[in-house]
Amino acid sequence: MTRRDVALPDDYQDLLTVLKERVRSTRAHALRTVNTQLIELYWSIGRDILRRQDSEGWGSRVIAKLAEDLRAEFPEMKGLSPRNLQYMATFARAWPDSIAQQAAAQLPWGHLMVLVDKLTDRESLDWYAAAAVEYAWSRNVLLNMIMGQAMERTGSAPSNFTKALPGRESELAQQAAKDPYNFEFLGLSGEVSERDLEQRLTDRIVETLRELGPGFAFVGRQVHLEVGGDDFYIDCSDSRVIPMPAALRG
């Protein structure tokens, strides 16, 4: 008798459903806990850098040296670049007293980079951080909400966020620890730079278009757009394949 032929108890499926939900909930809680500890670490590093910037005039060269030494000691950590250390200092300046009890401590680091990039006053920072946690906004949704002045708009209009957006267990947990992607079909393995990945994906798109024959065009990658004075770049995931106008066909 195979495992598929086993006679199952009547309540087996009910128990399986309960256990699956328990595993999902526990995994999401664990991810949030680990993420919060990481954010608190980043805040403490930023606080120490900020203090020395203010008192001793630390510049970019000192921070670059600090990043180099930290990465040498902890090569498995990917968030210790000079740019990230600068963000940590900006993050600590935005929340100078403590971060442990703030909504921002529950957000992935990428969300916090968006917040300190786009906002300066504490009221806005706290509002968007709390909303992102409550409604499980992805990073792109958070950016769009900031650019669309959601805080100002919701003060005079009812909100349908709770109906329109997913539950808080899903999106933030996924973004706090994204699943790895398998790109073996591109001939890539191990650690791969974003530039190499983009090049291989683009090569595959071009090869596919050639197989389709005339009548199609690859618009491009990293297409620059300027919206409201801010620069945006459409990457490969947003590249489009469109029919070529008849006048341009060979």
Domain residue extents for the chain: 11-176, 195-248
- Nearest 10 degrees: CA dihedral of 135, 137, 143, 145? -30
**Which stretch of 56-65, 171-180, 191-200 has the lowest confidence by average pLDDT?**
171-180
226 beta partners: 231
- Confidence at residue 180, expressed as pLDDT on a 0 to 100 scale: 44
Identify the weakest region by mean pLDDT among 106-110, 134-138, 201-205.
201-205
Say whether pTM exceeds 0.75.
Answer: no
| Mean pLDDT within 5-13 | 85
Look at residue 229 and tell me whether its pLDDT is greater than 80.
no
Q: How far apart are CA 237 and CA 229, in angstroms?
A: 23
Tell me: pLDDT of 40 over 90.
yes
Q: Of 36, 40, 125, 45, which Cα lies nearest the Cα of 85?
A: 45
245 pLDDT above the threshold of 80 = no
Residue 146 · residue 113 · CB < 8 Å: no
Query: Mean pLDDT across the stretch 85-95?
Result: 95
> Average pLDDT for residues 142-151, to the nearest whole number?
90
pLDDT at 45: 96
In three-state form (DSSP H/G/I as H, E/B as E, the rest C), the secondary structure along the chain is: CCHHHCCCCCCHHHHHHHHHHHHHHHHHHHHHHHHHHHHHHHHHHHHHHHHHHHHHCCCHHHHHHHHHHHHHHCCCCCCCCHHHHHHHHHHHHHCCCCCCCCHHHHCCHHHHHHHHHHCCCHHHHHHHHHHHHHCCCCHHHHHHHHHCCHHHHHCCCCCCHHHHCCCCCCHHHHHHCCCCCCCHHHCCCCCCCHHHHHHHHHHHHHHHHHHHCCCEEECCCCEEEEECCEEEEECHHHCCEEECCHHHCC
Mean pLDDT for the chain? Answer: 78
What letters, b where the CB count within 10 A reaches 16 and e where it falls short, cover 46-59? bbebbeebeeeebe
| 199 pLDDT above the threshold of 50 | yes
- Residue 185: CA atoms inside 13 Å, Cβ hemisphere, count? 5
pLDDT at 7: 83
pLDDT of residue 185: 55
What pLDDT sits at residue 207?
A: 72
Diameter of the chain measured on Cα atoms = 75
Can you give the pLDDT at residue 165?
A: 47
**Residue 122 confidence (pLDDT):** 93
Which pLDDT band holds residue 33 (cuts at 50, 70, 90)? confident
Q: Comparing 209 with 88, which gets the higher pLDDT?
A: 88
Q: Report d(CA 225, CA 65) in Å as an integer.
A: 35
* Residue 88 and residue 42 in contact, taking contact as beta carbons nearer than 8 Å: yes
Flag whether pLDDT at 48 surpasses 90.
yes
